[in-house]
């Protein structure tokens, strides 16, 4: 039997990083919380909890937890404080579809990332982790999507070497979701919410098999734009904001989970294709070429695939209009 021990300098003394905790677990599943501030790990760790954050199997994703809101004595219940205010414009209505929920939460990730000073790649990683988690598990019902989003931001900061403090993530999230309320105090509720983020991070790592490093379309799009600029007339390129439109389309594509459904180079070509068509820009000598310009960038990409990605991207903007 192994045991997870918290460093004495963690929540009680105000340390904000989970690096102050020491992980001494060999194998097994998370078990019953101990009164001494740790977790026992192993088959004989006591009665199994109903908490979704501690139902991680040793070699498989966790089964869905109860959806009736009863999570036992888990600190997961602290995530309820992160639900949006009733009067908030981006409130998740009871009849909202899963797509709308993911759209709103992804928008929260992007806006929170900007307020936290994250670069574009860490924000994209956080969105990809969020979409990958719900793709690999179940519908948002059993899990608080905003808590998953906060944990995704925290984990993305580690993956992309732009570390964030849990205190900053909690404060920004609380301000976003409860804009009319006072800032959170450093009381027991704050530390329970902080622990929920850390536990949710562990759950996400187990569900994703610790594969949280992704190839993003950004580097492909940059290469494609530089190449296309050299093909085209300089004055025509400078008169039309194709580059800015392509980057904006790529950023918006993360609202709909295109990052987990299509290869990154295909997404990069599709947003460039749509940006060119939006401004009516023709690629020189395209009609006389032996193969279309997009296959110069990605040989395995067909026009039908581009149209499908563009259609999914247009549906994101349709969804945005419906929500607004």
User: What is the biggest distance separating any 2 CA atoms in the chain, rounded to whole angstroms?
Assistant: 75
Query: Percent of the chain at pLDDT above 90?
Result: 52
The domain segmentation of the chain, as residue ranges, is 75-207, 218-323
Q: Which CATH number fits domain 218-323: 1.10.10.10, 1.10.472.10, 3.50.50.100, 3.40.228.10?
A: 1.10.472.10
C-alpha to C-alpha distance for 305 and 302, rounded to whole angstroms:
5
Residue 261, pLDDT above cutoff 90: yes
The whole-angstrom separation of Cα 298 and Cα 268 is 10
> Are 75-207 and 218-323 the same fold in CATH?
yes
pLDDT in tens, 94-120: 435 788 999 999 999 999 999 999 999
pLDDT tops 70 at residue 32: no
Q: Return the exposure string of 36-71: e unless at least 16 CB atoms fall within 10 Å of the residue's CB, then b.
A: eeebbbbeebeeebebbbbbbeeeebbeebeeeeeb
The dotted CATH code for 75-207 is 1.10.472.10
Dihedral pair phi/psi, residue 258, rounded to 5°:
-60, -25
Q: Residue 152 burial (CB < 10 Å; 0-12/13-18/19+)?
A: buried
């Amino acid at each position: 039997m192994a045991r997870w021990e918290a460093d004495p300098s963690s929540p009680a003394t105000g340390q904000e990083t989970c690096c102050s905790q020491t992980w001494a677990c060999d194998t097994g599943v998370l078990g019953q919380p101990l009164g001494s501030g740790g977790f026992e790990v192993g088959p004989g760790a006591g009665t199994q909890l109903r908490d979704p954050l501690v139902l991680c199997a040793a070699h498989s994703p966790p089964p869905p937890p109860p959806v009736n809101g009863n999570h036992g004595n888990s600190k997961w219940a602290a995530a309820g404080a992160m639900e949006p205010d009733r009067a908030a414009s981006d409130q998740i209505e009871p009849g909202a579809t899963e797509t709308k929920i993911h759209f709103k939460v992804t928008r929260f990730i992007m806006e929170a990332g900007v307020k936290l000073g994250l670069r574009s790649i860490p924000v994209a990683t956080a969105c990809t982790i969020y979409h990958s988690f719900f793709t690999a598990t179940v519908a948002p019902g059993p899990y608080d999507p905003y808590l998953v989003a906060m944990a995704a931001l925290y984990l993305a900061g580690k993956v992309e070497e732009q570390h964030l403090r849990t205190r900053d993530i909690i404060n920004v999230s609380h301000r976003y979701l409860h804009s009319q309320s006072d800032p959170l105090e450093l009381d027991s509720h704050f530390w329970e919410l902080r622990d929920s983020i850390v536990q949710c991070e562990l759950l996400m790592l187990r569900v994703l098999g610790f594969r949280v490093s992704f190839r993003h379309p950004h580097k492909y799009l940059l290469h494609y734009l530089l190449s296309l600029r050299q093909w085209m007339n300089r004055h025509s390129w400078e008169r039309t904001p194709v580059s800015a439109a392509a980057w904006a389309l790529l950023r918006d594509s993360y609202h709909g989970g295109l990052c987990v459904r299509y290869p990154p180079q295909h997404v990069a070509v599709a947003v460039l294709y749509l940006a060119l068509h939006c401004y009516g820009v023709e690629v020189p000598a395209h009609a006389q070429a032996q193969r279309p310009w997009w296959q110069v960038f990605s040989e395995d990409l067909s026009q039908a695939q581009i149209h499908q990605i563009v259609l999914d991207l247009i549906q994101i903007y349709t969804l945005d209009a419906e929500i607004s």
